[in-house]
Amino acid sequence: MTRTVITGGPGSGKTTLAADLAGQQLELLGNGRPPGMLVCAPTTAGVRAVASRLADRRPAGSQVRVGTVRDLASCGTRPLSAPWLLVVDQLEDCVPSELDLVATWARNAAATVAAVDVDQQITGWAGASPASVSAFVHAADRLVALDRSHRVPAAVADLADRWVAGLPNPHRAALFPADRAGRVHRTAVSVHDPMLVDRLAADLDRGRTVLVAALSGALLGPLVANVRAAGVPCRDLTADTPDPQVVEALARYLALDEREQPATARAWTGADVRAWWPLCRAPRGGLRAEARHIVGALPADRPVPFELLADLWGDDRIRARALDPDPGWLLDAAKPGYRRRLAHLVAVAERNGHAELARPPRLLVGTVHSAKHVEVDVVYLAPDLTPGQADEWWGGRRDRLTRLAYVAATRARLEVAGLARATRYALPDSLFQTQGASTT
């Protein structure tokens, strides 16, 4: 039984190295029957991050279990037949009960590879602590410390290092920043200020990826509403993963628009119609009651004759709107469950062009907890606190909130901007004061 623990700061390649070392261990264990592999992390996003790097390393015929620590608990303390390899990412976010289970798995596994950075611990609210992680790290046969960040620029690294310098972390590795100067500054706009949307849109127009991070999800509602109203493409990390069906449906509906895309506009196929059809309520869209049977019989991969399309509607005026094509008609006809999502996508298409629908949003909005796996060019950090967080900060219990701010700032490849306060309680302005910092 061997245990390897990898430590290192943000962007230092812990997960990638863990996958590389896991591949080496699998080769060593593969002399008899195919070794098994248990891959876990405290969160679903963490599991995806490490599992994607291990996808091509699975030995032929081996048994692999992948999931969060909590989900895999149902597999027991010997989840696989020996020999098997345990791979754990983001160990710092395991709460004590999860750490106990991981430690048991490590004792029963033929080998263990784990990645950890206590400074990025964001589950202190649930009981995780540096001390609870230390016992697992101290039991390692091999400790690998990574000291080079491939993401965080110098100015952001200086800021982040100052924040965590006094926090307990017996396994902190030195962090040499990426070869970029970067920038740290404060802004005069808050997370609720409509002017923030203009700044975000300007960053996107420059080709940048952007994250707006908050310490509390309650702050994000007005910002998300402002962004959607402006037609700025955005992904709300605190919401469920968007249904790709709605995006595809609108894109296929707009494929008929010769004004917006004269070079690529085309007649609808049966597959196009069947893509946007489920979003509609027949009476609201002026569609005939028997239109469902017509749609079901349309040829999937051939242009639909106009005569067949015309039969879908009973009113000439509504038919003309729908075949224009008018996104407003699709919104009017949409079922309530689709209307809000569809309205934002229509605004995005009108502001940025139809081609924008095919691109992943480059603006992300979320809490620090939802954004830990994000890597962007620019981070806007909202300093606002809930009353409970304010009591925690001003009562001298600052470790947990400092780590949250640290994780948020170190998502940035180029720039960190501290937003102005939007509420009564907020982190102090001095937190963002570094050499060369500015206010804009």
In sequence order, what E strands does 117-182 have? 142-146
pLDDT of 1 higher than 80: no
| Strands 84-88 vs 111-116: parallel, antiparallel or unpaired | parallel
pLDDT at 289: 85
pLDDT of 295 higher than 60: yes
pLDDT of 385 higher than 90: yes
Query: Which of 171-180, 230-239, 412-421 has the highest average model confidence (pLDDT)?
Result: 412-421
pLDDT at 22: 92
pTM for the whole structure: 0.88
Residue at 417: amino acid letter:
A
Looking at the chain, the whole-number percentage of residues with pLDDT higher than 90 is 73
Q: Span 229-250, mean pLDDT?
A: 89
Q: Span 118-128, mean pLDDT?
A: 93
Q: Span 306-326, mean pLDDT?
A: 91
SS3 content of the chain, % helix, strand, coil (to 5): 45, 20, 35
pLDDT of 400 higher than 90: yes
pLDDT at 437: 53
pLDDT at 436: 54
Quick one: pLDDT band at residue 335, thresholds 50, 70, 90?
very high
Q: Span 101-129, mean pLDDT?
A: 95
Distances in Å between the alpha carbon of 259 and those of 32, 262, 264, 372, 432?
A: 65, 6, 10, 41, 48
Show Cβ contacts of residue 199 under 8 Å, excluding neighbours closer than 6 positions: 187, 189, 380
* Burial class, 252, CB count within 10 angstroms (exposed 0-12 / middle 13-18 / buried 19+): middle
Say which residue, 36 or 1, is predicted with more confidence.
36
Distance CA 316, CA 286 (A): 10
pLDDT at 264: 84
Q: Span 322-331, mean pLDDT?
A: 94
Q: Span 250-255, mean pLDDT?
A: 93
Neighbour tally for 248: CB within 10 Å: 15
pLDDT at 327: 93
pLDDT of 150 higher than 60: yes
pLDDT of 181 higher than 80: yes
Q: Which domains does the chain have, with CATH numbers?
A: 2-146 (3.40.50.300), 183-234+362-439 (3.40.50.300), 244-358 (no CATH)
Mean pLDDT, the chain, rounded, equals 92
In sequence order, what E strands does 218-369 have? 235-236, 363-367
Quick one: pLDDT band at residue 439, thresholds 50, 70, 90?
low
Distance CA 285, CA 289 (A): 11
